[in-house]
Chains A and B, each alone.
Chain A
Amino acid sequence: MTEPRSTAYRSLAFPDPAELLFGTAARPVDCGLDLRIGAGTVFPEINFTLPPITVEAATWPEVVGHYEEIARAVVRRALALQAPGVVLEFELLPAMTENPEWGAEITRLLKRHLAEAHAVHGLRSALRVTPTDIRDQGTRPVLRSGPAWEKLKRSFELCVEAGADIISIESVGGKEVHDYGLMYGDIRAIVFALGMLAPRDMAWLWDEITSICRASGHAVPGGDTACGFANTAMQLAGQKLLPEVLAAVVRAMSAVRSLVAFEHGAVGPSKDCAYEGPVIKAITGCPISMEGKSASCAHFSPVGNIAAAMCDLWSNESVQNVRLLSGSAPEAFTELLIYDCRLMNTALRHGRALELRDWLTESDEWLSPQAAVLSPNATWKIAKAIVAEDIDYRRVIAAGHTAVRVLREGLDMKKLNLSRKEQQWLDRIENELSGLPASEDELRSEMLEQHGDLFDPASHGWD
């Protein structure tokens, strides 16, 4: 049985892939200080982190000092460049979720800077706050109870009270089996994790998050990300440790679990590192945040341009607060993002966004399997395959098959180059997807027998 749904999407918000454009969502989101996201303007979303420092009581004043400096610098640069608005993302570090008051203190500090800039200079803004999913990290993690969950819940509550405008999380339910699946290239374990475990955890978790946001009267439940799943695969593929085709197929399949947040109250903008965001946007019409070339401060990316094709917020993922020649790194990356957004917004104003979108797409599309599954056409096909199915398990398989087809089309057209080894993996993935049982219960029984040591059935709503 799949968890009960408050909304189960069965059609696309964008019936034509040509409508899937940056800066334009079918359901824009109003949040923060006069910010409307997805209504014709792409805004920069600046994310930042600390330089090497231990986060503990003794260093706390220094930690606070860093965030003061970051907030001042980012606002200063946004004003200097007349940004039409900004989103700041504060991703809590584990210690700041373990100590919910710490996370709330930084949230309050950042919001104060944004409020001042709004009051004095009219800078429109929103503050996204993303507590760390610190729930049980052991084997067979207990996800729905225990002290770690209580702290995480408290962190959401206190950050919302402290002024968070958008709430997000990089949730990890299902990762306990997915990690195994990735490491051993085990498609059955991957499908089980993405099609059963993760959606069940998402359904439960996002009901909780949505309820906290609704009670606040001001915070919006933004969205989740398959970072721990598909980005892990992407990074390992980037290091030649995993096949790129596996990472690409996992990306497509991971959209199913991220969609569950939206079926349980999330309204966007989705998280920047959710590269599955375009599929979510095609289905839900909600605005999305994306990251690409201007996140090179954080990690390598094979999708630097194409990631911007359908974004509503454009992010740098994360940058340490260190000094550069032009100022602090968060300040410099604010500038970079603002210029990226200016170009996209100019194209929108001139009615030429589709042209720019297609250039962003074409410049990356066939240079990597992971870019190939992110094109507006591929996004649309994957989204369509997902909504054609009614349960997550079958949605994941459908998304996987569609991604394989996209890659095969690229090969047939001689646009995508794959090594013999990658092509063998593509065959293997396709065969294994085709060999999955029709019934999710059958796969669940198999996984319980084979990997029951990895996951706790009760944490996924099974008795």
Chain B
Amino acid sequence: MSELQKLYDAILTGDAKSADSLTRQALVTGADPGELVSKYMIPAMDEVGRRFESEEYFVPELLLSARAMKAALELIRPLLAERGAQPAGRVVIGTVKGDLHDIGKNLVASMLEGGGFEVYDLGADVPPEKFVEAVKEKKADIVCLSALLTVTMRAMKTTIDSLKQAGVRDRVKVLVGGAPITVQYAQEIGADGYGENASVAVALARQSVTRGAAS
């Protein structure tokens, strides 16, 4: 097995230590950083996604792979940035005001990180103005809003309204998710997408930045 194939396997099996050392080794021996990402790391994460979708992997395996991917990406990102390459996208994520539930949001945040996104996690019970501030400050492409309670889901609309009032709504795609949320509700409040689970949320985020770049 080639050393680079081992990097693919390290990510697939969630071995962050090996992913880190194999990436270092590859870079020292002159491997092209862009090629590492496109030929080995992203395909590994795609296979992880496939295994998760087909219920061969549970969340822990998925997150360990995401962590291994992140470890490798942290070494590669500065080199890509020197060449002017950008992350997959910048995401601001949080559970909306009044809602203290955050495990679903944490899951989405970790998976987005593993998917190559730069993620700014604002935590739980986040007021609309904090989302607005973060969108401006971090130059976000995507805002992910989470809610678990029927009495807090309306804060998603308030947050979207605040993004509009601050004049930043058109700059970002807003994705929503959480137990009481439906596609209809997402449409009603003017969100751009609804992720019924974490992997759908990541797929939507990818589509959002691809479409955003194309338009």
The answer to whether B99 and A184 have CB atoms under 8 Å apart is no
Chain A interface size, under 10 / 10 to 19 / 20 to 34 / 35 or more: 20 to 34
Instruction: Contacts A52-B150, A137-B124 given; indicate if A94 touches B100 (C-beta within 8 A).
Output: yes
The stretch among A67-75, A235-243, A367-375 that forms the contact with chain B is: A235-243
Most chain-B CB neighbours within 10 Å: which of A132, A179, A183, A239? Answer: A183
Closest beta carbon of chain A to B36's beta carbon, Å:
25
Chain B interface size, under 10 / 10 to 19 / 20 to 34 / 35 or more: 20 to 34
Chain B residues with CB under 8 Å of A52's CB are 150-151, 153-154, 180
The stretch among B52-60, B74-82, B132-140, B203-211 that forms the contact with chain A is: B52-60
Most chain-B CB neighbours within 10 Å: which of A93, A179, A184, A320? Answer: A184
Near B by CB (< 8 A), chain A positions 424-446 give 425
Closest beta carbon of chain B to A110's beta carbon, Å:
17
Most chain-B CB neighbours within 10 Å: which of A94, A95, A139, A421? Answer: A94
Chain A residues with CB under 8 Å of B152's CB are 94
Residues of A within 8 A of B (CB): 49-55, 93-95, 132, 134, 137-139, 179, 182-186, 232, 236, 239-243, 320, 421, 425
Residues of B within 8 A of A (CB): 55-56, 58-61, 63-64, 67, 98-100, 102-103, 106-107, 110, 123-125, 149-155, 158, 180, 197-198
Instruction: Contacts A94-B125, A95-B98, A132-B100 given; indicate if A185 touches B60 (C-beta within 8 A).
Output: yes
Chain B residues with CB under 8 Å of A138's CB are 123
Q: Give A95 to B149 CA distance when docked, in angstroms.
A: 12
Instruction: Contacts A132-B100, A183-B106, A183-B107 given; indicate if A54 touches B63 (C-beta within 8 A).
Output: no
Compute the total of residue contacts between A and B using a CB distance below 8 Å. Answer: 79
Chain A residues with CB under 8 Å of B151's CB are 49-50, 52-55, 93, 95
Chain A residues with CB under 8 Å of B55's CB are 240, 421
Say whether chain A's binding surface is mostly helix, strand, loop, or mixed. loop
The answer to whether B149 and A93 have CB atoms under 8 Å apart is yes
The answer to whether B60 and A184 have CB atoms under 8 Å apart is yes
The answer to whether B154 and A179 have CB atoms under 8 Å apart is no
Q: Give A53 to B125 CA distance when docked, in angstroms.
A: 16
The answer to whether B197 and A239 have CB atoms under 8 Å apart is yes
Q: Give A320 to B55 CA distance when docked, in angstroms.
A: 32
Q: Which residue of B lies closest to A51 (CB)?
A: B150
Instruction: Contacts A93-B149, A94-B100, A184-B64 given; indicate if A236 touches B155 (C-beta within 8 A).
Output: no
Q: Which residue of B lies closest to A93 (CB)?
A: B151
Chain B residues with CB under 8 Å of A242's CB are 58-60
Most chain-B CB neighbours within 10 Å: which of A138, A185, A232? Answer: A185
Closest beta carbon of chain A to B50's beta carbon, Å:
15
Closest beta carbon of chain A to B33's beta carbon, Å:
27
Q: Give A232 to B59 CA distance when docked, in angstroms.
A: 13
Closest beta carbon of chain A to B35's beta carbon, Å:
30
Closest beta carbon of chain B to A151's beta carbon, Å:
13
